[in-house]
């Protein structure tokens, strides 16, 4: 089945015109004709330059036409770079690639240890690239069209028990400025269930401690209001009164959480902080940036919250995304039943 381009034809026409002017991939043929295909990257490096220019055009298309979030665009661009390097190695331009080339590329990823979900995401990125090329009339066929996504096992997200969360939140040393910041950050994330990107881009204006609310800007620029628990509000107030002013020295950006130099905290910086406290608490998990978000959702469902309410709090556009936590909740119920029901397990009879 042919996929329709997502952007409007006028904008794509401008994009195609700019691409045709900056690259010799299309040549100078009449717009009504099929674009000619180049013979492959030349040894003088001009083919590689063409590919780099095309990749940048695609990036701008995702940002300006598709209006995708920056993190999403970075993921597409990173995946595409790997594919384009593969094509350069094969001495092929994107318009020359066949289904066998894409299949070989995906097989190479699997052999390098990429899990099925990563391979599937790479295929999605390459598909988006060819949708753009065809819509902009920079290619005549889509080599990904008949390729199937790898079969994915549904992996349940890692969660912490309520006791584990309490142990984790008790680790930061609130007598220091950075310790208080860390305590406020972890409490805030568990209280709101926000994504890491939402945590790191939260601003001073996005929280209302009097109303105990967080105005969260999620994926696709969608805004939602999330309550903040009283424990998190108390620590946040202390952090905003003492620790944050000392870190920013009265200057710096308006982000809620900052690093030791008073600047915006990075995703890697947050992961290192979380990993440090997970190790201190001796939690038997591989620290994941979203472990508190997953725990937030699961604990709400365990407490009897409605699935639609949890969906709204998490900012999921589809209820099917939220339903994975009901599976976690069922696993929890099974474990409770197994531990406490008198006839849940059959006793073993040794010596029979």
Tokens 């937030």 sit at which residue? 296
pLDDT in tens, 177-195: 999 999 999 999 999 999 9
Which H/E stretch holds residue 294?
helix 291-302
Query: End-to-end distance of the chain based on CA atoms, in angstroms?
Result: 62
pTM: 0.58
Backbone phi, psi, residue 240, to 5°: -70, -25
**CATH assignment of 162-338, among 1.10.760.10, 2.60.40.10, 3.30.420.40, 1.10.443.10:** 1.10.443.10
Given pLDDT bands bounded at 50, 70 and 90, which one contains residue 69? confident
Per-residue pLDDT tens over the stretch 291-343: 898 999 888 888 888 888 888 888 887 777 777 676 655 655 566 556 666 66
d(CA 130, CA 2): 12
Token readout for 299 is 């604990």
DSSP for 168-220, please give it: HHT-S-TTSHHHHHHHHHHHHHHHH---HHHHHH-BGGGEETTTTEEEEE-GG
Cα-to-chain-centroid distance, residue 206: 21
Domain spans of the chain, in order of start: 9-135, 162-338
Q: Of the spans 39-53, 145-159, 201-215, which averages the highest pLDDT?
A: 201-215
Find the helix or strand (DSSP H, E) in which 225 lies.
strand 223-227
Residues carrying an active site annotation: 195, 219, 290, 293, 316, 325
CB 265 within 8 A of CB 258: yes
Q: Give CA–CA dist 109/106, Å, rounded.
A: 5
* CA dist., res. 51 & res. 57, Å (int): 10
Q: Mapping DSSP to helix (H, G, I), strand (E, B) and coil, where does residue 313 land?
A: helix
pLDDT surpasses 50 at 25:
no
């Amino acid at each position: 089945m042919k996929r329709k381009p997502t952007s409007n034809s006028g904008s794509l026409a401008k994009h195609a015109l700019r691409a045709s002017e900056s690259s010799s991939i299309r040549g100078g043929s009449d717009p009504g004709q099929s674009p000619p295909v180049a013979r492959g990257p030349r040894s003088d490096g001009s083919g590689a330059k063409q590919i780099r220019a095309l990749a940048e055009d695609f990036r701008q298309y995702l940002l300006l036409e598709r209006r995708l979030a920056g993190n999403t665009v970075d993921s597409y661009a990173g995946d595409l770079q790997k594919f384009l390097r593969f094509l350069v190695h094969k001495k092929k331009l994107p318009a020359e690639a066949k289904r066998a080339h894409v299949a070989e590329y995906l097989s190479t990823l699997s052999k390098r240890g990429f899990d099925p979900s990563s391979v599937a995401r790479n295929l999605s990125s390459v598909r988006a690239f060819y949708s753009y090329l065809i819509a902009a009339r920079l290619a005549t066929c889509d080599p990904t069209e008949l390729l199937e996504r790898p079969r994915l096992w549904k992996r349940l997200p890692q969660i912490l028990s309520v006791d584990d969360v309490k142990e984790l939140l008790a680790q930061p040393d609130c007598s220091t400025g950075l310790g208080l910041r860390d305590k406020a950050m972890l409490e805030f994330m568990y209280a709101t269930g926000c994504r890491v990107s939402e945590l790191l881009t939260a601003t001073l204006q996005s929280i209302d401690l009097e109303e105990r609310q967080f105005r969260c800007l999620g994926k696709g620029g969608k805004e939602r209001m999330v309550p903040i628990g009283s424990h998190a509000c108390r620590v946040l107030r202390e952090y905003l009164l003492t620790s944050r002013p000392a870190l920013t020295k009265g200057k710096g950006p308006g982000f809620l959480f900052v690093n030791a130099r008073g600047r915006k905290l990075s995703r890697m910086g947050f992961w290192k902080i979380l990993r440090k406290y997970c190790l201190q608490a001796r939690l038997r998990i591989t620290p994941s940036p979203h472990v508190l978000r997953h725990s937030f959702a699961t604990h709400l469902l365990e407490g009897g919250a409605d699935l639609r309410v949890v969906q709204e709090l998490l900012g999921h556009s589809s209820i099917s995304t939220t339903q994975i936590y009901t599976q976690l909740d069922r696993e929890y119920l099974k474990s409770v039943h197994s531990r406490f029901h008198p006839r849940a397990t059959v006793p073993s009879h040794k010596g029979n």
